[in-house]
Amino acid sequence: MQVVKNLQDLNKVLKIVSNKSIGFVPTMGSLHRGHLSLVRASKKKTDYTVVSIFVNPTQFDNQNDYNNYPINLQNDISLLNNEEVDLLFIPDYEELYSSEKLIKIDLHNLDKVLEGKHRKGHFDGVVRVVSIFFNLIKPQYAFLGEKDYQQYLIISLLAKELFEKVKIILCPTFREESGLAMSSRNLRLEAKYSKETKKLFELLTYCKKNFDVENRKKLEQICFEKLSQFSSPEYFEIRQSVDLTNEGELSDKWRAFTATKFGDIRLIDNIALN
């Protein structure tokens, strides 16, 4: 595995492999099995897999969250070596953003609800950094996890509008034995919350079993109240899978989305309901 940290070396390497299909896996490090599943999906589908590790400050609405984001670079490098990743890109913030080409895109309100509503400016930062990566790496495929489903929709729209040669591949959420969705932030969870975090996926499963499009508002309220019994919820909402609107028919595809805190650690999750 080649490891590059500057744009000059990145361009040199990518020029050599320009005739190969490139798969891209963007990460913020502290890798877990969910990340590695994206790497494996890329290796299976493409000739050349690029992984980035970059804790992007422009997508954090909370400076404390950014400062405390878990970093374990040596372990990450070891894991990616074992997966036989072709190229690991670990950019410097100043240099990366110096290559930014300002873009303008209408996200059709995908960035105004759920995470966008509760984390002001978050998706602006996501769109900025992903645009930079797509311009630099020019992948044919990018692999994203289902846990960040709203982010997947936004990056898919970005690709459709401005990077039509990039196909976005959605990969399943990987979960702990307890059902908790794997996340780098899980590393910061205190042990005393282990029983409570297990209840998060149980609640999503309860929502799925009891889903009725006609009574979804009542189900949202019930689930929010249940969530309040073991954590500090920000939202529990049922929305359409295609555009995150909250109006539709039974024939539409629906998902439940939630964000809640266990102590100081904020976790998100979602589940397909039908």
Catalytic option among 32, 35, 108, 122: 35
Q: Are strands 254-262 and 232-240 parallel, antiparallel or unpaired?
A: antiparallel
* Nearest CA-CA partner of 184 in 35, 18, 39, 1: 35
Calpha distance 167→175 (Å, rounded): 25
Q: Locate tokens 């404390």: which residue?
A: 64
Q: In angstroms, what CA-CA distances link 167 with 42, 174, 185?
A: 12, 22, 28
Calpha distance 104→193 (Å, rounded): 42
Q: H or E segment at 188?
A: none
The strand ranges marked E within 28-138 are 48-53, 87-89
Listed as own residue / partner, the contacts of 191-194 with beta carbons closer than 8 Å and 24 or more positions apart are: 193/262, 193/263, 193/265
Note whether 46 and 137 are within 8 A (CB).
no
Q: In angstroms, what CA-CA distances link 210 with 5, 203, 263, 268, 273?
A: 49, 11, 29, 21, 9
Q: Is 32 a catalytic residue?
A: no
Indicate which residues carry an active-site annotation: 35
